[in-house]
Amino acid sequence: METAIVTIEPDMLAKYGVDLAEIDRIKMVCAGKTFDTPTNYEDGRKALALARDTRVGIEKRRKELKDDSLAFGRKVDATVKQLTALVAPIEDELQAKKDAVDNEKSRIKAEKEAAEKAARLAEAEAKLRAEREAEEARLRAEREAEERRLAEIRAKFEAEQTEQCRIAAEQEARAKAERDRLAKERETFEAEQRKAKVEMDRQARELAERQRQAEIDEANRLEEIRAAKAEADRIESVRLAKIQAEKDAAEKAERDRIEAEERRVAELERQAALKARKEALRPDREKLAAFGVELIEFAKANMPTVSTEEAETALNRATSEIVRIVNVLQTFGVSEVFGS
Kindly report the average pLDDT of the chain as a whole number: 84
Greater confidence (57 vs 6) lies with 57
Q: What is the DSSP string of 35-52?
A: -SSHHHHHHHHHHHHHHH
Q: Identify the top-confidence range among 162-166, 215-219, 308-312.
A: 308-312
Query: Is the CB of residue 143 less than 8 Å from the CB of residue 207?
Result: yes
- Which one of 275, 293, 312 terminates a domain? 275
Is 90 exceeded by the pLDDT of residue 124? no
Task: Report the distance separating Cα 82 and Cα 5, nearest Å.
Answer: 9
Integer-rounded Cα radius of gyration of the chain: 46
Among 31-35, 185-189, 253-257, 325-329, the least confident range: 185-189
How far are the Cα atoms of 171, 179, 181, 305, 312 from residue 176, in angstroms, in the given order?
10, 5, 9, 17, 19
Tens of pLDDT, residues 212-249: 887 888 888 888 888 877 787 787 777 777 788 677 77
Among 116-125, 137-146, 329-338, the least confident range: 329-338
- 0.85 cut: is pTM over it? no
Closest CA to 146 of 191, 206, 196: 206
- Which one of 65, 84, 105 terminates a domain? 105
Tens of pLDDT, residues 85-98: 888 898 898 899 88
Q: Print the domain residue range for 72.
A: 10-105
Greater confidence (149 vs 173) lies with 149
Residue 127 belongs to some domain of the structure: no
- Which one of 251, 275, 299 terminates a domain? 275
pLDDT number for residue 70: 60
Residue 34 belongs to some domain of the structure: yes
Tens of pLDDT, residues 326-338: 998 888 876 554 4
All residues at 6 or more sequence positions from 36 whose CB lies less than 8 Å from its CB, including other chains? 101
Residue 207 belongs to some domain of the structure: yes
Based on the domain organization, do 178 and 271 belong to the same domain? Answer: yes
How far are the Cα atoms of 9, 106, 148, 196 from residue 291, in angstroms, in the given order?
117, 72, 18, 16
Residue 240 belongs to some domain of the structure: yes
- For the chain, the domain total comes to 2
Residue 299 belongs to some domain of the structure: no
Q: Identify the top-confidence range among 120-134, 140-154, 309-323.
A: 309-323
Based on the domain organization, do 179 and 260 belong to the same domain? Answer: yes
Residue 26 belongs to some domain of the structure: yes
Residue 99 belongs to some domain of the structure: yes
How many residues comprise the chain?
340
All residues at 6 or more sequence positions from 18 whose CB lies less than 8 Å from its CB, including other chains? 54, 57, 58, 83
Residue 59 belongs to some domain of the structure: yes
